[in-house]
């Protein structure tokens, strides 16, 4: 008896853009003058949801030379407040401007009635939260007419209410909402350290064909916990985990984030080039393995 | 007061193991907006609830875990205000600014998805804040001026009026004409030369003591062709004319208001001012009766 197996398109059929970096103000002059051959750029959506002015002019310049993807921090997909339709309308207008191939934000909550926290707070890993987030993702995807990718956050607390692991929680939501995953490899490492789970188990347990983008970043060791600061080079343990993740997902657009203590552009780009080199190594190893398999 | 009530109401509910998602979030949001370390005696009223809600880890207690978010809440918002109000923060000094920021964020919690809006209500709050400072009026004017740089920078884009349109307006139509000014044009009447002080701070220089002395000053902030914010000091009559036009007065009515400040009248100056405003993009349209 033949066992049937569903074959999924990698990255939900979305393109692999290569290895890029976040577009940040201190690098504008270099980007616009030297036009380095970066595969793609990522912007923080909220920094450009404006009615005019220099940020949008600079974005238009970047769009003239680069593929740009949008990443947000304020969607609040897990918040128990109603969806913010003014925010979504402005977000959609920006997606039309950038022609982003997908839109990502965090699997978290960011606000309560009467207050925005401007933080990425973890959800309890419960069936109630799965239902809540799934319904909202469907609505947002329909409205934006774009595939949404949910990013796993770095977290510093867990709830007694949780009945699932984080990876099962994330997997259930993306399957039921039919959306993508932005796999932040650094966040997996940070949360694994903070909560004592195995980072490789997290990565191995996801539906890999739904990973449409990955993030890499540096963090800060505060002793009792790791803090996701985006203020340093990617840690060696995170590079190892990235290699492991890429070996499971295949080539996926990879973005290096660096927000605090920003270095010169070449240093940042060097991190993206290292990600590209790892992708090449993994691809070559896989094709070599495939050839050996064919010969036997 | 709303903040305190929110926390107290949420506390009992969040202690239940079956607290809903919204109850959990409202409770935790109230907790992480508390100004003191969560382990402090002042926060003893939420200790039991936090122990029931947060799991803790091998290295951190539930209170310590939640306190990471509390600390980040204050750091993030205070740093954002510090960045957006550089002259105001410099003038107050580190400790006074931190105390002010804490009071402001407690009284006016962030409500916009973007941190760009965090300080929109700060000048109004400063107007009624009890500064432990001899120069409170100067501090308040700095707060208003700093915010002007944000709102002008982020203002909606609108093209200046075309010179052909201006040229085509007949002389008899001008007295009743109304001018539509650029969305980003901000006008200020201050009792101090805050622009001189702010410019020094932005250059990384220590402002001279003289800049803090009273000197009535009329200022405009506008977004130039380079999309950056520029400042312009104006004569009181020019300022008065612009304010009247901004408020919808016809050109003749605006001139009457400005004339009150100029014994010899402003008519002789208006042509030159208008040319300057046009060059700087102050005027987006001229609306005539015809």
Q: Is the pLDDT of residue B5 over 50?
A: no
Per domain, the residue ranges of chain B are: 2-147, 155-287
* Ordered domains of chain A (ranges, CATH): 10-295 (3.20.20.150)
Specify the pairing of strand B178-181 against strand B214-223: unpaired
Determine the Cα–Cα distance for residues A36 and A30; give it in Å rounded to an integer. Answer: 8
User: What are A240-296's pLDDT values in tens digits?
Assistant: 999 999 999 999 999 999 999 999 999 999 999 999 999 999 999 988 866 655 443
Determine the Cα–Cα distance for residues A192 and B57; give it in Å rounded to an integer. Answer: 11
CB contact under 8 A, B53 and A194: no
CB contact under 8 A, B54 and A87: no
A253 touches chain B (CB under 8 A): no
| B29 CA: distance to closest CA in chain A (Å) | 7
B74 touches chain A (CB under 8 A): no
* DSSP secondary structure string for all residues of chain A: -PPP-----GGGG-----EEEE--GGGHHHHHHH----S-EEEEGGGG-SSSSHHHHHHHHHHHHS-EEEE-S---TT-SSPP-HHHHHHHHHHHHHHT-S-EEEESSEEEETTEEEEEEEPPP-SHHHHHHHHHHHHHHHHHHTS-EEEEPPP-S--BTT--S-HHHHHHHHHHHHT-EEEEEHHHHHHHHHHHT--HHHHHHTS-GGGEEEEEEE--EE-SSSEE----SPPPHHHHHHHHHHHHHH-S--EEEE--SS---HHHHHHHHHHHHHHHHHHHHHHHHHHHHHHH-
Give me the pLDDT at residue A292, please: 57
A261 touches chain B (CB under 8 A): no
Nearest CA in chain B to A129: B21
B119 touches chain A (CB under 8 A): no
- For A194, which of B21, B57, B158 is closest by C-beta distance? B57
CB contact under 8 A, A225 and B111: no
Q: What is the DSSP letter of A147?
A: -
Q: What is the DSSP letter of B54?
A: B
Torsion, Cα of A81, B34, A228, A32 (10° steps): 70
User: What are A136-170's pLDDT values in tens digits?
Assistant: 999 999 999 999 999 999 999 999 999 999 999 99
Q: Give the pLDDT band of residue A117 (cuts 50, 70, 90).
A: very high
Nearest CA in chain B to A192: B57
Q: How many CA atoms lie within 13 A of B209 on its CB side?
A: 0
ipTM, 2 dp: 0.94
Q: Is the pLDDT of residue B66 over 70?
A: yes
A113 touches chain B (CB under 8 A): yes
A224 touches chain B (CB under 8 A): yes
A82 touches chain B (CB under 8 A): no
* Three-state SS at A53: coil
CB contact under 8 A, B24 and A114: no
B253, two tokens: 């009515």
- For B25, which of A51, A109, A156 is closest by C-beta distance? A109
CB contact under 8 A, B53 and A160: yes
Q: Is the pLDDT of residue A4 over 70?
A: no
Question: Can you tell me the mean pLDDT for B169-185?
Answer: 94
Determine the Cα–Cα distance for residues B239 and B259; give it in Å rounded to an integer. Answer: 12
B176 touches chain A (CB under 8 A): no
CB contact under 8 A, B157 and A160: no
CB contact under 8 A, B24 and A161: yes
Nearest CA in chain B to A114: B111
User: What are B121-145's pLDDT values in tens digits?
Assistant: 999 999 999 998 789 999 999 999 9
Q: What CA–CA distances, in Å, run from B265 to B171, B173, B256, B275?
A: 19, 20, 8, 18
CB contact under 8 A, A119 and B110: no
Which of A44, A59, A116, A127 to mutate to probe the B interface, most B CBs <10 Å? A116
Among B101-105, B136-140, B254-258, the range scoring the smallest mean pLDDT is: B254-258
CB contact under 8 A, B21 and A128: yes
Q: Is the pLDDT of residue A2 over 60?
A: no
Determine the Cα–Cα distance for residues B71 and A195; give it in Å rounded to an integer. Answer: 19
CB contact under 8 A, A224 and B59: yes
* DSSP secondary structure string for all residues of A186-252: HHHHHHHHHHT--HHHHHHTS-GGGEEEEEEE--EE-SSSEE----SPPPHHHHHHHHHHHHHH-S-
| A224 CA: distance to closest CA in chain B (Å) | 6
Determine the Cα–Cα distance for residues B31 and A110; give it in Å rounded to an integer. Answer: 14
Q: Among all chains, which residue has been given the structure tokens 């100056």?
A: B269
Average pLDDT, chain A: 95
Nearest to residue B134, comparing CAs of B92, B102, B94? Answer: B92
The residues in B 208-237 lying below 8 A from A, measured between CB atoms, are 223, 227-228
- For A119, which of B72, B112, B184 is closest by C-beta distance? B72
Nearest CA in chain B to A160: B55
CATH for the B155-287 domain, from 3.90.930, 3.40.50, 3.30.160, 1.10.10: 3.90.930
């Amino acid at each position: 008896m033949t066992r049937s197996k569903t074959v999924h398109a990698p990255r939900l059929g979305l393109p692999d853009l290569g290895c890029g970096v976040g577009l940040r103000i201190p690098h504008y002059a270099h980007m616009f003058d030297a036009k380095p051959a970066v595969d793609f750029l990522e912007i923080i959506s909220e920094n450009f949801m404006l009615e005019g002015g220099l940020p949008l002019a600079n974005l238009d310049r970047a769009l003239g030379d680069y593929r740009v993807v949008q990443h947000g921090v304020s969607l609040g997909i897990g918040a128990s407040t109603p969806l913010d339709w003014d925010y979504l309308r402005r977000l959609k207008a920006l997606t039309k401007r950038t022609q982003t191939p997908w839109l990502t934000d965090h699997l978290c909550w960011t606000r309560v009635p009467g207050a925005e926290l401007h933080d990425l707070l973890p959800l309890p890993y419960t069936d109630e939260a799965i239902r809540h987030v799934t319904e909202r993702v469907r609505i947002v995807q329909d409205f934006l007419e774009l595939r949404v990718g949910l990013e796993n956050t770095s977290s510093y607390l867990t709830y007694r209410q949780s009945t699932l692991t984080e990876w099962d929680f994330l997997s259930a939501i993306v399957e039921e909402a039919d959306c993508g995953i932005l796999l932040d490899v650094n966040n997996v490492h940070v949360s694994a350290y903070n909560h004592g789970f195995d980072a490789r188990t997290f990565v191995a347990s996801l539906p890999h064909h739904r990973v449409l983008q990955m993030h890499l970043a540096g963090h800060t060791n505060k002793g009792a916990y790791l803090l996701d600061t985006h203020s340093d080079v990617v840690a060696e343990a995170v590079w190892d985990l990235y290699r492991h993740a890429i070996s499971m997902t295949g080539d996926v657009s990879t973005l290096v984030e660096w927000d605090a203590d920003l270095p010169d552009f070449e240093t940042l780009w060097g991190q993206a080039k290292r990600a590209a080199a790892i992708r090449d190594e993994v691809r070559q190893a896989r094709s070599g393995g495939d050839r050996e398999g064919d010969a036997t | 007061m709303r903040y305190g009530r929110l926390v107290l109401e949420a506390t009992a509910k969040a202690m239940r193991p079956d607290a809903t998602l919204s109850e959990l979030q409202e409770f935790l949001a109230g907790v992480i907006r508390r100004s003191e370390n969560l382990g402090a005696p002042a926060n003893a009223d939420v200790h039991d609830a936090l122990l029931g809600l947060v799991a803790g880890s091998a290295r951190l207690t539930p209170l310590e875990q939640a306190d990471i978010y509390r600390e980040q809440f204050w750091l993030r918002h205070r740093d954002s205000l510090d960045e957006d109000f550089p002259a105001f923060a410099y003038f107050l000094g580190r400790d006074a600014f931190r105390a002010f920021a804490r009071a402001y964020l407690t009284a006016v919690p962030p409500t916009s998805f973007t941190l760009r809006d965090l300080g929109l209500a700060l000048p109004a709050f400063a107007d009624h804040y009890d500064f432990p400072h001899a120069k409170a009026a100067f501090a308040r004017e700095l707060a208003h001026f700093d915010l002007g740089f944000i709102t002008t920078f982020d203002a909606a884009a609108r093209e200046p009026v075309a010179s052909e349109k201006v040229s085509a307006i007949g002389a008899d139509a001008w007295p009743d004409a109304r001018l539509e000014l650029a969305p980003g044009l901000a006008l200020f009447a201050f009792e101090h030369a805050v622009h001189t002080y702010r410019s020094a701070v932005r250059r990384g220089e220590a402002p001279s003591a003289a800049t803090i002395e009273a000197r009535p000053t009329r200022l405009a902030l506008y977004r130039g062709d380079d999309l950056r914010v520029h400042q312009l000091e104006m004569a009181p009559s020019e300022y008065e004319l612009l304010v009247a036009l901004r408020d919808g007065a016809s050109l003749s009515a605006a001139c009457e208001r400005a004339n009150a400040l100029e014994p010899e009248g402003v008519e002789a100056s208006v042509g030159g001012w208008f040319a300057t405003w046009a060059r700087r993009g102050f005027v987006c349209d001229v609306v005539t009766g015809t």
